[in-house]
Amino acid sequence: MGRPAPPDPVTLSALTDAGLAPVEELAGQGPVLRAALHRLGLARVQDLWFHLPLRYEDRTRVTPIAELRAGESAQVEGRIEAVERGFRYRPQLRVAIADATHQTLVLRFFHFRGAQADALRPGLRLRCFGEVRHGAQGLEMVHPQYQSLPDGAEATTEERLTPVYPTTEGLGQKRLGGLIAKALLRLPAEAALELIPAGLRAGLGLASLRDALLEVHRPSPQADTALLALGRHPAQQRLAFEELLAQHLSLKRLRAQVRALAAPALRGDGSLRARLLAGLPFALTGAQRRVVAEVAHDLAKPVPMLRLVQGDVGSGKTAVAALAALAAVEAGRQVALMAPTELLAEQHLRTFQRWLQPLGVEVVWLAGKVQGRARQAALAAVAAGAPVVIGTHALMQEGVAFRGLGLAIIDEQHRFGVHQRLALRDKGLSGDAVPHQLVLTATPIPRTLAMSAYADLDVSVIDELPPGRTPVATVAISNARRSEVIGRIAAACAEGRQAYWVCTLIEESEQLQAQAAEVAHAELCAALPDLRIGLVHGRMKARDKRQVMDAFKAGDLALLVATTVIEVGVDVPNASLMVIENSERLGLAQLHQLRGRVGRGSVASSCVLLYQPPLGRLARERLAVLRETNDGFRIAEKDLALRGPGEVLGTRQTGQLALRIADLARDASLLPEVHRVGEALLRDHPAAAERLVQRWIGAATRYAGA
Ligand code: ADP
Ligand code: MG
C-alpha cells in the first residue's frame, strides 16, 4: 500500500506486546519443535491463537461396542481377548477386544514396534479412540489411538470435545494443544484484539473475538456439539467472518500491487502459434478460441495480466496454455509452467515436449527431484533464457533465476493457495517489470464465490467440451455390495480394460490416507489374485510413484489402487472404470474431478460411488447430482445450493484457499458483508487491514506445503 496511512483508531500496543512475541517464549529453543512449528507457519504467539482446530473428537463418552456403527469415530473400552500377529501380504497385528456387551472389536495395526505388540496381552484393558469400519470379521478400527489401563486404574473421560489441530511430523496433538493453551493465557482484552472498528461492526451481530477464540480452542461442556461439528457455532462464524475478510483484503491488495507494476507487452507475430495449431490432431473448440484470444489480448498490454481460466475436466486447458506460452516465446520471453504435483507437472512436460519441440522450442524440466548435475544444467538453461520451463513449486525455490520471465502459468491453482503466486511473481522481477500470470483451474466455482476466491483475477471460462466425449455412467452402490463391485472390476479387466480404485479419507494426515490405500490394496489383491494390481499414494517416493503410473499407463497393471493423488491430470484413455470409496464424504467438485480420470477414451466408461450406509437424505441427493449430470458447472451450483442451507457432510473442503475455519460454500452468506467491510477498511483503516492480513495470512510459507 503505497500511500501514507491515516491515523488508525485501533489501539495496537497491547496486541504488539502479547501477540507478536516469538513462539520460542512458549516453546523453548528445541530445534525439532522449532522446525515443526516453522513448517506450520507458527512463528509468533498470535499464530498459535489463530491456529484453529480442523475438527473435534468426541471423547466425552465411551460407546458400548454393540452400539458402534461403521463410518463413525468413537471411544471404546474393552479387554483384550486375543492377539494375532500375522504376515499375510505384510506384517500386521490384530487385537480383539470385548466389553460388557460381549461384542468384539478388532484393532488392526500395520505399523508397530515389537515392544508395542508384546505389551498387548490378553486380559489387558484398553481405552481406544478411532474410526470404525467394516472388516473381514465384523467391525474394526485401523490404527486406533489407545491407552492401556492397568487393573484398578480409571481412564478419565473428557468433559469437552477434543480439538484436532492441523499438525506435522514431530509435533503431536498433545504437545501442540499444550502450546496453544499456554498462548491463550496471554490473550489480551477484547479491545486490544479486535481490529474491525466498531462503526463497521455495527449491526453484524458478531460475537466477541476473544470469547470466540477461547470457545473454539476449548469448547465449553455445554456447547452445541452438532453446531461445532458443522462449523456453524457463533464462535466459529465470528472467526470465519474475519478470515474471509482477511482473504479478501489480501487478494485486493495483491491485485492492486501487481497491477501498479509494468509487464512486458508480448506481441508475437503468431508464427509459432500457427504452426502448433496446424500440427494438432484436433481443431480448437469455439470456447478455446475465445479464451485464447482473451489471453492474447491481455498479454499484448504493458500491464501484468492476472487471468484465471476455468474449464471443466477435459475441456482442453492445456492447449490454451500452450498457445499462451508460444505467444510469449514469439515475443522473446520465457514461460514458466507450474503444477501442484510432480505427477501433473510431468504430464505437462510430456505434452509440451510433444507439441513444442517439433517447433524448435526447448522445454526444460525442473522439479524438486531433479538433483545434482541435472539440476545445475537445468538451472543454467533457465538462466540462459530457455523458452519454456516446467516444474512443480520447486520453480519458486531459491537459486532459480530466469533471464526474462514473461509469463507464469499456474495449473490447478486451488492446490497452491493464492499467496504462492506472489513468490513466482517475484522471480520475474527485472527492473520494474513483472511477468503476466495465467491460472488454470478445473474447479468450477459459482460466480459469487469466484468473486471472493479469486478477487485478484479476471476470469475466462471454457464452457464447451471437445466433441466425441462419452459421458461417464455413474452409479452409487452401498458398501454392503462391495463384493459385487469387485466382481465388476474382474469382468472389466477380463475384457482388457483398466480400472481405478480410489481410497478417500478426509484426514489431516497423509499417513492415514496411505494406510487406507494399503488396506484396500491388500484386500483387492486377496480378492482378485489373477489381476496385476498397483498402489500409488502420496507417501511414496516420486520415482516409485512414477514407476507405478507408467506401468498402469503401459497397461502392465490392470487395476490401480490410489489415494486422491490421482485427482488431477492423470490421463489413461484405456481406464474406463473407477470405484471411489467413501464417496459420501467428498465434495461434489472433488468427486467430479476424480471421475474425470475416466471417460477419456472411446469406450463407454463408468464410475461407482461406494458409500457407507445408511445414507442421509442430503447425501443421497448429492450423489444423485453426480448420477444425473457430467457438467462441472451445474454440479458446482448444485453443491452450493445443497450445502448452503443444509448440513455439511465432509469437513470443510481442503486445499482450495487454504482456509482454516471458513468454508466458501457454507459461509457464502457472509460474503456481501465481508466485501462491504473490506472496502471500507482498505479506504479508511489501511493499518488495521494490514494487521488483519498479517494475522490470518502471515508468512507465505504457510501455504507452501498445502
Ligand atoms: P484439461 O482441461 O482437463 O486440462 P486437457 O487439456 O488435458 O484437459 O485435454 C483433455 C484431452 O482433450 C487431451 O487429450 C487433449 O489433447 C484433448 N483436446 C483438447 N482440446 C481438444 C479439442 N478442441 N478437440 C479434441 N480434443 C481436444
Ligand atoms: Mg489439465
State phi, psi for 145 to the nearest 5 degrees: -80, 140
User: 516 C-alpha to center of ligand 1: Å?
Assistant: 32
Res 428: pLDDT? 53
User: Candidates 284, 291, 318: which one to mutate for ligand 1, based on the most atoms within 8 Å of Cβ?
Assistant: 318
Residue 705 has pLDDT above 50, yes or no: no
Res 603: pLDDT? 81
Is any atom of ligand 1 closer than 6 Å to the C-beta of 46? Answer: no
Neighbours of 138 (CB within 10 A): 14
Res 619: pLDDT? 84
482: alpha, beta or left, given left = phi > 0 and alpha = psi -120 to 50?
alpha
Of 699 and 409, which is predicted with more confidence? 409
Residue 426 has pLDDT above 80, yes or no: no
Is any atom of ligand 1 closer than 6 Å to the C-beta of 442? Answer: yes
User: 363 C-alpha to center of ligand 1: Å?
Assistant: 20
Percent of the chain clearing pLDDT 90 (strictly above): 47
Res 417: pLDDT? 47
Model confidence at 320, pLDDT cuts 50, 70, 90, reads very high
Closest atom, ligand 1, to C-alpha of 573? 14
Res 1: pLDDT? 40
Residue 340 has pLDDT above 60, yes or no: yes
Q: How far does the chain reach from its first CA to its final CA, in angstroms?
A: 27
Res 441: pLDDT? 82
Nearest ligand, CA 311: 1
Cell reading at 589: 467438485
Model confidence at 545, pLDDT cuts 50, 70, 90, reads confident
Nearest ligand, CA 354: 1
The pTM score is 0.64
Residue 507 has pLDDT above 50, yes or no: yes
State phi, psi for 665 to the nearest 5 degrees: -75, -50
User: 461 C-alpha to center of ligand 2: Å?
Assistant: 14
Of 181 and 604, which is predicted with more confidence? 181
Quote the CA–CA distance of 52 and 198 in Å, as a whole number. Answer: 25
Tell me how many degrees the CA angle 414-288-633 measures, rounded to the nearest 5.
50
The answer to whether 450 touches 459, Cβ cutoff 8 Å, is yes
The DSSP 8-state label assigned to residue 90 in this structure reads S
Cell numbers 442430503: residue = 618
Res 335: pLDDT? 96
Q: Which helix (H) or strand (E) holds 460?
A: strand 458-462
Of 73 and 432, which is predicted with more confidence? 73
Name the residue among 470, 56, 440, 25 with its Cα closest to residue 235. Answer: 56
**Which pLDDT tens digit goes with each residue over 650-662?**
223 333 346 788 8
Res 669: pLDDT? 84
Model confidence at 186, pLDDT cuts 50, 70, 90, reads very high
Res 6: pLDDT? 43
Cell reading at 40: 506450520
User: Angle between the 588-595 and 617-628 helix axes, to the nearest 10 degrees?
Assistant: 30
Neighbours of 267 (CB within 10 A): 13
Quote the CA–CA distance of 473 and 475 in Å, as a whole number. Answer: 7
Res 640: pLDDT? 67
Residue 431 has pLDDT above 70, yes or no: no
Residue 67 has pLDDT above 90, yes or no: yes
Residue 15 has pLDDT above 60, yes or no: no
User: What are the residues facing 242 on neighbouring strands?
Assistant: none
Res 448: pLDDT? 55
Is any atom of ligand 1 closer than 6 Å to the C-beta of 441? Answer: no
**Which pLDDT tens digit goes with each residue over 615-665?**
888 788 889 999 998 888 788 777 766 654 222 222 233 333 467 888 877
Tell me how many degrees the CA angle 394-399-400 measures, rounded to the nearest 5.
55
**Which pLDDT tens digit goes with each residue over 369-423?**
788 999 999 999 999 999 999 998 767 666 688 898 999 998 865 544 444 555 5
Model confidence at 450, pLDDT cuts 50, 70, 90, reads low
User: 317 C-alpha to center of ligand 2: Å?
Assistant: 6
Is any atom of ligand 1 closer than 6 Å to the C-beta of 315? Answer: yes
User: 393 C-alpha to center of ligand 1: Å?
Assistant: 24
User: 459 C-alpha to center of ligand 1: Å?
Assistant: 20
Residue 279 has pLDDT above 50, yes or no: yes
Is any atom of ligand 1 closer than 6 Å to the C-beta of 285? Answer: yes
The answer to whether 379 touches 400, Cβ cutoff 8 Å, is yes
Res 500: pLDDT? 96
Res 568: pLDDT? 55
Res 349: pLDDT? 93
Neighbours of 460 (CB within 10 A): 22
Residue 239 has pLDDT above 70, yes or no: yes
State phi, psi for 244 to the nearest 5 degrees: -65, -35
Reduce the DSSP state of residue 530 to 3 states and report it. coil
Q: Which range, of 159-163, 238-242, 456-460, 482-486, averages the lowest pLDDT?
A: 456-460
Quote the CA–CA distance of 574 and 610 in Å, as a whole number. Answer: 22
Q: Please state the rounded mean pLDDT for residues 502-515.
A: 72
**Which pLDDT tens digit goes with each residue over 37-65?**
988 889 999 999 999 998 898 898 899 99
